[in-house]
Structure 1
């Protein structure tokens, strides 16, 4: 069976800006936010054409989150402490409400897409939307575990986009997956360096 690589300019620009954005996030560079906003605009057009309506709407929310993330990273530690926003682990309470929001969002979007649109993949479209939103919020706050949410989303996005004929976008998400692993390891090193060396354990005489 032959594969039709129907490349459009929106898909090509989405590929370029998306890869640049994830690479910049992994390096904790604040320029990832404006590059990400450009990426969102290209993907709005692409996903509407492909009938992935939740993903298209997700890009609008991403633009709002990117503005929030840009402000948060620029503000750093806050008006009192200043400096760069530190990488940290996700607290238990944060995990609880992120999980609740993700579950409720997936259920609500699945029902909406199934009943109000001609989406052929309402559940998978809704699931990736919920995972992406929670992951983006986590990166706005520099939560280490946000990379795991992105990895989970990418593992669904890759076959989903391939099934929709968006082969370059599917390939892009393979690259995203690799960059997410790189970002996870990099943020882990940053967190470990900030914690400093562990104190030596005293040995009883």
Structure 2
């Protein structure tokens, strides 16, 4: 049992206790945020804001710039999404769950490519192309940027981006020595699959004639 424990958590031996506690708190609020998203609950945003703020601080300390930018973007999009989800489209209805339109698919592609370019420039500027993980960071950042934008606008396809990004992130964060975060993304993958199914049900109910 001890060798298994050491395999997963030995990388924390040199970390300050405060960083470990903060990561656990951020992971807990991250779980809550994704769970509330699955439930189509507005609490996805306040819980997400707490998680992302903590991760921005931690990732800056660890010089994981791509991951830090993802969380900084999550923070800003959480504020935007909070507004969109509470905005009424008429006197009685809030912004509904919908499929992406052709225009929104093109917008998603633009966000994806623009993010790739932006992260590339940042890594070039800070000379961070010193590990293969930097290239994966660039890809996952672009995937998550699109997923967060679509979620803020209540597009059901956002879950597809979350699932793909989460699957890539599990081994990536474990390799980086962030075991708790890797576990978080593993659970995120499972919740995202159920979230996609739950949103499909909401969409079918919304489209059903009253």
TM-score normalised to structure 2 length? 0.86
RMSD: 1.8
- Pair 45,151 (structure 1): closer, same or farther in 2 beyond 3 Å: same
* 1:107-139 per-position Cα deviation (integer Å, ceiling 9, x unaligned): 341343145243532221111111111111111
Matches within 5 A, 1:64-83: 64-77=76-89, 80-83=90-93
Which piece of structure 1 moves more, 86-95 or 117-126?
117-126
Q: Distance in 2 between matches of 1:189 and 1:73?
A: 18
Q: Which residue of 2 aligns with 1:8?
A: 20
CA shift for structure 1 position 100 = 2.5
**Range moving further from structure 2, 5-14 or 171-180:** 5-14
Q: Which has the higher helix share?
A: 2
Aligned to 1:35: 47
1:5 CA drift (Å): 5.1
For residues 20-169 of structure 1, the aligned pairs below 5 Å read 20-77=32-89, 80-118=90-128, 120=131, 121-169=133-181
Structure 1 residue 51 displacement after superposition: 2.4
- For the 8 Å contact 2:77–2:148, the answer to whether it is kept is yes
Deviates more, 1:47-56 or 1:85-94: 47-56
Asked whether the 8 Å contact 2:115–2:145 carries over to 1, the reply is no
Q: Which structure 1 segments of 5+ residues have no match? A: 198-205
Following the alignment from structure 2 to structure 1, what is the Cα–Cα distance between the partners of residues 87 and 153?
Answer: 11
| Aligned equivalent of 1:19 | 31
